[in-house]
Amino acid sequence: MNTSRDSHGLVQWHGTTIIGVKKGGKTVIAGDGQVSMGNTVMKPNARKVRRLGDGSVIAGFAGATADAFTLFERLEKKLEQHRGQLMRAAVELAKDWRTDKYLRNLEALMIVADKDVLLILTGNGDVLEPEEGIAAIGSGGNYALSAAKALTDYEDDPEKIARRAMAVAAEVCVFTNDRVTVETI
């Protein structure tokens, strides 16, 4: 996974696209399947979106795969400790992620959701709830985010919005493909 920093000093991930769309009582997280090493596609069908815990939480990641799996495991433990309360578990994970010497070095971003909230989690300790119910991360994230925002006034189904936004990202981002995994809550 390639990284760079944006004008605010935040790490920007190059190598995947993950989008979350919350609309009409339904939340969808979708992600592409491409794993790149430099300019080479190493795997076209990776699964970067999955259900966590008892299946009541869905999550997608951008970043180093082993790091993301570590974070998924930690989030599942936090969900168990806080009886499935995603917001509380996410805040506790973000605290650990920012302060723990080992976790602090993990290079990944996550979008997580349950029936109530859609969140972006970062290693800077951020737990961000997008204002309009649309969140995107990864190299194609801004393309997918823009497409989803444009579609939301014309489409009521969040899965259709997410799939079309992913298709747009795959058309313009060389680190994103059209092999999409979708999970819905």
Instruction: Point out the catalytic residue in the list 16, 17, 27, 181.
Output: 16
pLDDT digits (tens, 9 = 90+) for 12-42: 444 689 999 999 999 999 999 998 877 888 8
Q: For the chain, what is the largest distance between any 2 Cα atoms, rounded to a whole number of angstroms?
A: 46
In angstroms, the CA 160 to CA 73 distance is 29
CB 18 within 8 Å of CB 62: yes
In angstroms, the CA 91 to CA 173 distance is 31
In angstroms, the CA 177 to CA 67 distance is 22
Q: Hey, where are the domains in the chain?
A: 2-184
Q: CATH for 2-184? A: 3.60.20.10
Active site residue 65: no
Q: To 10 degrees, the CA torsion angle through 50, 96, 65, 117? A: 30
| 141 token code pair | 């994230």
In angstroms, the CA 171 to CA 18 distance is 15
What does the DSSP 8-state code read for residue 15?
S
pLDDT digits (tens, 9 = 90+) for 113-162: 999 999 999 888 899 999 899 999 999 999 999 999 999 999 999 999 99
pLDDT digits (tens, 9 = 90+) for 70-99: 888 999 999 999 999 999 999 999 988 888
